[in-house]
Amino acid sequence: MEYKFSKKLAELKPSAIREIFKSLSDPTIISFAAGNPSPDSFPVDDLARLSAEIFENEASFALQYGITEGYMPLREAIAARQKSRFGEGMVRDCDTTLVVTGGQQGIEPACKAFCNEGDAVICENPSFIGALNSFRSNGARTIGVEMEEDGISLEKLEETLKTVKNAKLLYLIPTFQNPSGTCMSLEKRKAVLALAKKYEIMIIEDNPYGELRFAGEDIPTMKSLDSDGLVIYCSSLSKILSAGMRIGFVIAPSEVASKMVVAKQAEDVHTNLFFQMLCHKYMTTCDLDAHIAKINELYRHKCNLMLECIDKYIPADKVTFTRPEGGLFIWGTVKDCTDASFVVKKAIEKKVAVVPGTAFNCDTEAPSPSFRLNYSTPSDEQIIEGVKRLGEVFTSL
Amino acid sequence: MEYKFSKKLAELKPSAIREIFKSLSDPTIISFAAGNPSPDSFPVDDLARLSAEIFENEASFALQYGITEGYMPLREAIAARQKSRFGEGMVRDCDTTLVVTGGQQGIEPACKAFCNEGDAVICENPSFIGALNSFRSNGARTIGVEMEEDGISLEKLEETLKTVKNAKLLYLIPTFQNPSGTCMSLEKRKAVLALAKKYEIMIIEDNPYGELRFAGEDIPTMKSLDSDGLVIYCSSLSKILSAGMRIGFVIAPSEVASKMVVAKQAEDVHTNLFFQMLCHKYMTTCDLDAHIAKINELYRHKCNLMLECIDKYIPADKVTFTRPEGGLFIWGTVKDCTDASFVVKKAIEKKVAVVPGTAFNCDTEAPSPSFRLNYSTPSDEQIIEGVKRLGEVFTSL
């Protein structure tokens, strides 16, 4: 049988990062390639105890079909936390909070709800490959807009909004952008919202790392600033409770949320109900703030350690690095270089895995002078040894 | 903001059944409308014990990101069981077994992999609304083919294959078809495979109820009969371990499976890893056969009870009913009638919920002389009282 695949999937490759993740079975490789939270960030003892309680008291309900929108007590707990953490504007009267199967499932149904095949999604360039592939797998074109130090270029964004036909969505990670680590300034957030209103385009605000700030001050989310129903807010509990459980959430104008529910229903009916109940129990009976403070203490340490090693081992005249105030990543850019793919290749020869910048390009053919490093997964020893080896890549140039 | 939704989702309504499910909060209503497994079918004590073991010994792995294809030991356990249960042909050397987020997530990525917007999916008419909505949510047209007592009409199927343009998939539930309860005969399964080969169309064989046979003899699955790589086999553990955990699986030619992995990756990255491990532990350390035998004993009893009540309370000259050998549903058809929607309305006045046949039509505007009854969820008392009330709908005609 010669298979004739759909146009949208015929050419689409699996995420380079997920593929790298699979190839890391070689235990001698030090991986800075993952986007995994530290296993130390999982509150195992509390989850084990609460899980036993659910089996004891609510098993019939937890193991049965649930409704697509999600377990109501968890939806309420998430809405309450988002409001207390990021402001009352996070969930307005006209909004609905949904539970989805990881943050990823906030993005994909949003694209399905708005994009016909051939429509465009405007993205920061570089951007999160998982989201780019969500758009591509729905037959949408991804149009990249250049980044500046304080986020997306306003000038280029307006130019794109003026010229690109059938642009239906603007996908942004305003806080600790993946992969660049950039935070969009407050002024820019307001200006982007004004542009979205002017050009009548919906914004997906992806905020998986918002709770992972270990330095500096919070900047209001775009969702909290939006009074025009322009923002679909996607986030998850992956980075603060468990990634493997696949519990994410969406806060969106109710009319939009109801379309996303129809799309989700046709994809997986609903999200694992047992873990929805487990998250609800954790959020309402344990000290989530203290737990997150512990995670951020850990990541502050790991990030600082990696930056110290970078300063020590990697020649500053050859590569520049971001100095993030949160999130999971450091973004390196080779000076006077258009294509840094040699770094990835030479690093893997030295048994260090990093992600090539090309993986995050909207244009899959374009080169990149950058690469991404993760500090949350490796041990302290691995960070020291790995950056040392990475330094050899550059000193031997 | 006036939202401009995609063509494919603009008109798509949530599943009538899921909506009915939500409206069943009225405890005085007897529901024959669900498709839920009996809560007695969940092996709660074993799952609780094995869950505690995972938290004790493998928590860091279980709560971390996994790979999109699924937890390898579970994939192997599923492949082994399918082979031992339904024959060596279930998983051939050229096949791949994937874990997905419920059986529903086998269907949707298959559609994404093969269908461009406007392409057609040929379906039994009536068919499973969740699958129909998966196709519609991808912008595919659903083309219904008439059913006969032993499955889809071969004559009508070939006529459709000849005339419908861009038909990319043939969606079938050959065993205990939902909603009609029909089993496709062995001859017909072979003939349909031959037609699929002749017209070069892929088959999705959806088999959620295959393990739920409580009378009669197994008929080989289409997957086990297919040596041409034509069949994408979708099933789940929802009806034998837990529906709420959302663990399903796909067995497909590897080339097809790899496209479905790309689609799934963009949807939810991977399926809840903790429950994948829990299912693996259950399947390899507990007696699944004995557990399924217990479920089937229960359903045989409930189905027989409902049929006895039907014989007693519903006039045989007014309605005919299927007499299933497995699965979860009985399908009623009103004689000399084209539109049985009055049954649903009158039943709900008597506080009994049934699903109108129209919910399963490929053509959403077409009427239906039928309605679906579920016997797995209601208690014995509810079955007796509910069928009695349903009888009054017809005796008062």
Category of B229 on φ-ψ map: left (φ > 0), alpha (ψ -120 to 50) or beta: left
Q: DSSP for A222-238, please give it.
A: HHHH--SS-EEEEEEST
**pLDDT confidence band for B115 (50 / 70 / 90):** very high
Third-level CATH fold of A64-285: Aspartate Aminotransferase; domain 2 (3.40.640)
CB contact under 8 A, A244 and B115: no
Q: What is the pLDDT of residue A17?
A: 67
Quote the pLDDT of residue A23: 60
**Closest Cα of chain B to A285: distance in Å?**
19
Instruction: Please give the pLDDT value at position B27.
Output: 83
* pLDDT digits 0-9 by tens, A364-381: 889 999 999 999 999 999
Average pLDDT, chain B: 95
Q: What's the rounded Cα separation, in Å, for the pair B224 and B213?
A: 18
Which stretches within A72-219 are classed as H helix?
A: 72-86, 104-114, 129-137, 154-163, 186-198
CA distances from A49 to A154, A232, B55, B209, B282 (A): 49, 34, 9, 34, 20
- Is the pLDDT score of B145 beyond 80? yes
User: Would the pLDDT of B375 be above 70?
Assistant: yes
Is residue A240 within 8 A of residue A211, CB to CB? The reply is: yes
- Tell me the DSSP string of B80-137: HHHHHHH-GGGS-TTEEEEEESSTHHHHHHHHHHHPPTT-EEEEEES--HHHHHHHHH
Cα gap B306→B302, rounded to integer Å: 6
Of B75, B185, B67, B204, which Cα lies nearest the Cα of B132?
B204
Q: 10 Å Cβ neighbour count for B381?
A: 9
Residues of chain B neighbouring A230 (CB-CB closer than 8 A): 1
Strands of A370-374's sheet in order across: A319-321, A329-334, A370-374, A355-356
**pLDDT given at position B26:** 80
**Amino acid letter, B192:** V
The 10s digit of each residue's pLDDT in B15-27 is 766 666 666 678 8
**Chain B residue nearest residue A6, CA to CA:** B114
Mutate which of A63, A111, A170 to test chain B, going by most B C-beta atoms within 10 A? A63
Q: In chain B, what are the domain boundaries?
A: 7-42+290-395, 65-285
Q: Which residue of A has its CA nearest to B37?
A: A64
Collect all residues of chain A within an 8 Å Cβ-Cβ radius of residue B63: 39, 42, 44, 47, 242-245
Subunit contact B101:A102, Cβ cutoff 8 A: no
Please give, rounded to a whole number of angstroms, the shortest distance from the CA of A337 to a CA of chain B: 31
What pLDDT is recorded for position A13?
78
pLDDT of residue B18: 63
Q: Which residue of A has its CA nearest to B109?
A: A267
Q: What is the pLDDT of residue B241?
A: 97
Question: Other C-beta atoms within 10 Å of A336: how many?
Answer: 6
- pLDDT for A63-104, tens place per residue? 999 999 999 999 999 999 999 999 999 999 999 999 999 999
Q: Which of B259, B267, B275 sits opposite A267 (nearest CB)?
A: B267
- B56, B59, B262: residue with CB nearest A14: B262
**Nearest residue in chain B measured CA to CA from A48:** B55
Q: Is cis: bond before A73, omega within 30 of 0? A: no
ipTM given for this complex: 0.96
- Smallest CA–CA distance, residue B316 to chain A, in Å, is 34
Beta strand A167-172 with A202-206: parallel, antiparallel or unpaired? parallel
DSSP states along A345-362: HHHHHTTEE-EEGGGG-S
pLDDT of residue B23: 60
For residue B51, the chain A residues in CB contact (below 8 A) are 51-52, 55
Q: Which fold has domain B65-285?
A: Aspartate Aminotransferase; domain 2 (3.40.640)
Asked if the model's pLDDT at residue A166 lies above 70, the reply is yes
Percent of chain B past pLDDT 90, that is, above it, reads 91
Mutate to test the interface with B, among A53, A65, A379 (most CBs of B within 10 A): A65
Give the count of beta carbons closer than 10 Å to the beta carbon of residue B207. 22
A245 phi and psi, to 5 degrees?
-75, -20
CATH architecture assignment, domain B7-42+290-395: Alpha-Beta Complex (3.90)
Determine the pLDDT at residue A19.
65
The answer to whether B232 and B258 have CB atoms below 8 angstroms apart is no
Cβ <8 Å between A117 and B139: yes
pLDDT single digits (tens) B347-362: 989 999 999 999 999 9
| Cβ pairs bridging A and B (under 8 Å) | 274
B244/A7 touch (CB, cutoff 8 Å), yes or no:
no
Q: Which residue of A has its CA nearest to B134?
A: A266
B244 with A3: Cβ contact below 8 A: no
- Which DSSP state fits B346? H
Q: Which of B13, B39, B268 sits opposite A60 (nearest CB)?
A: B39
Give, to the nearest 10 degrees, the angle between helix B288-313 and helix B380-395. Answer: 30
Among chain B residues, the shortest Cα distance to A132 is held by B266
CA distance A257 to chain B (A): 11
List phi, psi (to 5°) of B172.
Answer: -135, 145
Q: How far is A183 from chain B (nearest CA, A)?
A: 25
**Concatenated DSSP letters of B150-202:** TEE-HHHHHHHHHHSTTEEEEEE--SS-TTT-----HHHHHHHHHHHHHTT-E
User: At which residue do the structure tokens 């004790």 appear?
Assistant: B56
Q: Does the pLDDT of residue A341 top 70, yes or no? A: yes
**Inter-chain touch A267–B59, beta carbons under 8 Å:** no
With CA atoms as reference, the chain A residue closest to B34 would be A65
Contact between A55 and B51 under an 8 Å Cβ cutoff? The reply is yes
- Helix or strand or coil: residue B206? strand
Alpha helices in A269-325 (DSSP H): 273-285, 288-313
Helix (H, G, I), strand (E, B) or coil at A387: helix
pLDDT exceeds 80 at position A221: yes
Tens digit of each residue's pLDDT (9 = 90 or more) over A311-329: 999 999 999 999 999 999 9
Predicted local distance difference test score (pLDDT) of residue A1: 83
**Structure-model confidence comparison of residues A21 and A45, the more confident one:** A45
Residues in chain B: 397
Burial A103-139 (b: 16+ CB within 10 A, else e): bbbbbbbbbbbbbbbebbbbbbbbbbbbbbbbbbbbb
Q: What is the pLDDT of residue A239?
A: 95
State the average pLDDT for chain A: 95
Across the interface, whether the CB atoms of B67 and A21 are under 8 A apart is answered: yes
User: What residues of B are in contact with residue A130 (Cβ under 8 Å)?
Assistant: 265-266, 269
**Identity of the amino acid at A290:** A
Residue A197: which pLDDT band, with cuts at 50, 70 and 90?
very high
Amino acid at A211: E
Contact state of A265 with B59 under an 8 Å Cβ cutoff: no
Residues of chain B positioned with their CB less than 8 A from the CB of A253: 1, 3
Using alpha carbons, select from A354, A375, A240, A353 the residue that is nearest to residue A303: A375
Please report residues of B whose CB lies closer than 8 A to that of A62: 244
CB-CB under 8 Å, B42 with A242: no
Return phi, psi of residue B264, to 5°: -65, -40
Question: Mutation test of the interface with chain B: which of A1, A95, A129, choosing the one with the most B Cβ atoms within 10 A?
Answer: A1
Q: According to the model, what pLDDT value does residue B137 have?
A: 97
**Residue B318 — very low, low, confident or very high, per pLDDT cuts 50/70/90?**
very high
Residue A11's pLDDT is: 84
3 state DSSP class of A373: strand
| Cβ-nearest to B101 among A101, A119, A244 | A101
Angle subtended by helix axes A254-268 and B254-268, to nearest 10: 150
Residue-level pLDDT at B102: 97
Distance from CA of A248 to the nearest CA of B (A): 10
Cβ proximity of A396 and A42 under 8 Å: no
* Chain B positions in Cβ-Cβ contact with residue A271 (cut-off 8 Å): 246
For A11, name the nearest residue in chain B, comparing CA atoms only: B259
B141: which strand partners? B120
Residue type, B312: K
> Which structure tokens are listed for A255?
């009319």
What are A261-272's pLDDT values in tens digits?
999 999 999 999
Are B63 and A242 in contact (CB < 8 Å)? yes
State both tokens at B359.
């919910």
CB contact under 8 Å between A262 and B133, yes or no, is yes
Mean pLDDT of B88-111: 97
Give residue B303's pLDDT.
97
B contacts of A257 (beta carbons < 8 Å): none
pLDDT greater than 90 at residue A247: yes
Q: Between A112, A230, A244, which is nearest B273 by CB?
A: A244
